[in-house]
A and B are shown apart, each in its own frame.
Chain A
């Protein structure tokens, strides 16, 4: 209860980012609380991945403030993000084809003893995690190159269960999945929320978004264009905000 009233898990204020001539983000505000799934939606090129990559430590904002539980922070690298217990599923999955499932799950955060890999323990945990996700992966020793697109996505999502994260960023996690697998991912997201984590879900699929998220944030041309309570907003309202049919002034935003 305290958490809900106190500082948000993640707070981003007046975030701007340029890539040369492209203004990917300008003056964006964004917030995630614990126990909350926030969907980030918008057209292609709206700046969703750019925002997500700032949370993951891949990109740094040109201007703006990022706070974690009220503390101003600089998420200067993916390792720093990991230390802050932020886990990410990147849009391009970021998996190594030449390594097996276990090695990918623990990549960059291998369990070690005197610099040596603890393969036995890592495989044990991998099996547990994959069982939790009900993913159909033949063996934890299968090389990634032998997996289907859906299986690869399961591995990428399974990575968010390693290392006790408090904030999980999912950039288009269901893009390559079948209906059944998508349902499993959505169940997984709900489980993360029930565990008290904050979740950022980027997706094109409005049905998925409305099924699991508590709040929907719309980006358009790198600016905030509306914040909606998922349970009380119609499909059309969100679409209108995405396409720009409705324009929401920053001052008038109703933070749900």
Chain B
């Protein structure tokens, strides 16, 4: 009997500490948004919100794949170079080769896939740590980018390819000064969110797990719905629904499902949590490791396409330091530095914190130098908070 009570007690405490961690990120995010909206009246304007989405989408795309790599207990330092290489290949095909836009996209994806296979092979089959393999990859693929581009930039893409990162879906259902289609899409998203939260809650109750009280639960849903609908209406007031945002939403939902509901995702968590246990239990560690790196390569090529479309060309130096933004997004979003812990949604919030920080400081005319200092300190504090939090949880156990 006492064991049961103790067990539940730990569960409650665990829930509280985990929520402190999670809500900690959200509170930080909201605080930053509030700060910048006070400091600068343009910050929450429709135009600027649209800008944030367009400007940082590729980091968020990278962070999705990076989160999986980090949960696996690995790291990928090469993604910035892969963004450059895949963008360069697409530019060669579309701009120089005059091929249609989708051929460019496809070639970029194929290159990303091959890059992933290459790195996955060295990590999974040869057993070299991902840190080393992808450090080599960072140099290797940057060099290849220079070779592919012959040391010069290529532009412009224009047309449909350009539209991937700069296009909007609007006017489908008309509207007066505000795009109805965008609003409808956001309304569907809000309803979906509410339903899934409700189902999770009922599941937790069925397992006698702790849930927030009903009024609190409803309040949470209402607040989230209000914020999301407001964000949607701001976009609708500007240029409508960015295509990139749709792509991003699809990726986030798909990869959340992969990580939480699929066998593959479960095995990634198991390998990162206890490699030995995973091996002894018959998890195919090599196979899972290999495909996680392949996935990262493909997502890096998606980011490469989006980035080259956004900049309307390919530059040898494109994507420099993107890997650091993506890695920082994961750790700020609660991923553990030792693997096994982290969520796609957490990495997204982490990425948004970085995005909002950068954008807000830009609006205020803060220079690159100070921006880097601030980003570095935020990353350090986020991880320090995480470690402090975990120590406290262990001490109270």
| Docked complex Cα distance between A143 and B10 (Å) | 10
Q: Which of B10-51 touch A at CB < 8 Å?
A: 10-11, 14
Please give, as numbers and ranges, the residues of chain A lying within 8 Å of B274 by CB-CB distance: 94-98
| Docked complex Cα distance between A119 and B340 (Å) | 19
* Of the residues B6, B10, B282, B284, contact of A82 by C-beta under 8 Å: B282
Selected interface stretch from B112-120, B256-264, B322-330 = B256-264
Please give, as numbers and ranges, the residues of chain A lying within 8 Å of B10 by CB-CB distance: 138, 146
Distance (Å) between the CB of B330 and the closest chain A CB? 15
B277 interface residue per 8 A CB criterion: yes
Q: Which of B280-318 touch A at CB < 8 Å?
A: 280-284
B154 interface residue per 8 A CB criterion: no
Q: Which of A143-159 touch B at CB < 8 Å?
A: 143, 145-148, 150-151
| Docked complex Cα distance between A150 and B277 (Å) | 18
Please give, as numbers and ranges, the residues of chain A lying within 8 Å of B4 by CB-CB distance: 136, 138
Cβ–Cβ contact A116 & B263, under 8 A: yes
* Of the residues A96, A116, A140, contact of B277 by C-beta under 8 Å: A96
| Docked complex Cα distance between A78 and B277 (Å) | 11
Given A115-B262, A137-B7, do A98 and B282 touch, yes or no (CB 8 Å)?
A: no
| Docked complex Cα distance between A136 and B263 (Å) | 27
Please give, as numbers and ranges, the residues of chain A lying within 8 Å of B263 by CB-CB distance: 110, 112, 115-117
B197 interface residue per 8 A CB criterion: no
Cβ–Cβ contact B14 & A143, under 8 A: yes
Given A116-B263, A148-B3, A151-B3, do A99 and B282 touch, yes or no (CB 8 Å)?
A: no
| Docked complex Cα distance between A108 and B280 (Å) | 9
Please give, as numbers and ranges, the residues of chain B lying within 8 Å of A138 by CB-CB distance: 4, 7-8, 10-11
B208 interface residue per 8 A CB criterion: yes
Q: How many residues of A contact B (CB 8 A)?
A: 42
* Of the residues A98, A141, A146, A151, contact of B341 by C-beta under 8 Å: A98
- Tell me if B's interface is mostly helix, strand, loop or mixed: helix
B186 interface residue per 8 A CB criterion: no
CB-based nearest B residue for A142: B11
Please give, as numbers and ranges, the residues of chain B lying within 8 Å of A94 by CB-CB distance: 274, 276-277, 280-281
Please give, as numbers and ranges, the residues of chain B lying within 8 Å of A136 by CB-CB distance: 3-4, 7
Distance (Å) between the CB of B295 and the closest chain A CB? 14
B392 interface residue per 8 A CB criterion: no
Distance (Å) between the CB of B196 and the closest chain A CB? 14
Cβ–Cβ contact A78 & B269, under 8 A: no
| Docked complex Cα distance between A90 and B281 (Å) | 10
Q: Which of B223-266 touch A at CB < 8 Å?
A: 261-264, 266
B270 interface residue per 8 A CB criterion: yes
Cβ–Cβ contact B262 & A117, under 8 A: yes
Cβ–Cβ contact B273 & A96, under 8 A: yes
Q: Which of B319-369 touch A at CB < 8 Å?
A: 340-341
| Docked complex Cα distance between A137 and B270 (Å) | 21
A11 interface residue per 8 A CB criterion: no
Q: Which of B57-88 touch A at CB < 8 Å?
A: none
Distance (Å) between the CB of A61 and the closest chain B CB? 18
| Docked complex Cα distance between A235 and B263 (Å) | 48
The interface size bin for chain B is 20 to 34
Please give, as numbers and ranges, the residues of chain A lying within 8 Å of B208 by CB-CB distance: 139
* Of the residues A92, A97, A107, contact of B281 by C-beta under 8 Å: A107
Please give, as numbers and ranges, the residues of chain B lying within 8 Å of A137 by CB-CB distance: 7
Given A79-B282, A142-B7, A147-B7, do A103 and B270 touch, yes or no (CB 8 Å)?
A: yes
Cβ–Cβ contact B262 & A107, under 8 A: no
Please give, as numbers and ranges, the residues of chain A lying within 8 Å of B282 by CB-CB distance: 77-79, 81-82, 108-109
Cβ–Cβ contact B261 & A116, under 8 A: yes
| Docked complex Cα distance between A94 and B264 (Å) | 19
Cβ–Cβ contact A117 & B280, under 8 A: no
| Docked complex Cα distance between A45 and B281 (Å) | 24
| Docked complex Cα distance between A8 and B208 (Å) | 46
Cβ–Cβ contact B209 & A90, under 8 A: no
Distance (Å) between the CB of A52 and the closest chain B CB? 12
Distance (Å) between the CB of A122 and the closest chain B CB? 10
B207 interface residue per 8 A CB criterion: yes
B194 interface residue per 8 A CB criterion: no
Cβ–Cβ contact A139 & B270, under 8 A: no
Cβ–Cβ contact A108 & B207, under 8 A: no
Please give, as numbers and ranges, the residues of chain B lying within 8 Å of A98 by CB-CB distance: 269, 272-274, 340-341
Please give, as numbers and ranges, the residues of chain A lying within 8 Å of B264 by CB-CB distance: 115
Cβ–Cβ contact A96 & B270, under 8 A: yes
Most buried by A among B262, B274, B284: B274
- In addition to A142-B11, A148-B6, 15 A-B residue pairs with Cβ atoms within 8 Å of each other are A78-B281, A96-B340, A97-B340, A98-B273, A99-B266, A99-B269, A107-B277, A108-B270, A110-B266, A117-B261, A136-B7, A139-B208, A141-B209, A147-B7, A148-B7
B binding-site residues for A, Cβ under 8 Å: 3-4, 6-8, 10-11, 14, 207-209, 261-264, 266, 269-270, 272-274, 276-284, 340-341, 397
A sample of 22 cross-chain residue pairs with beta-carbon separation below 8 angstroms, ordered by A number, consists of A78-B280, A93-B277, A94-B274, A94-B280, A96-B277, A96-B340, A97-B274, A97-B340, A98-B340, A99-B266, A99-B270, A103-B266, A103-B270, A108-B270, A108-B278, A109-B282, A138-B4, A139-B207, A143-B14, A147-B7, A151-B3, A151-B7
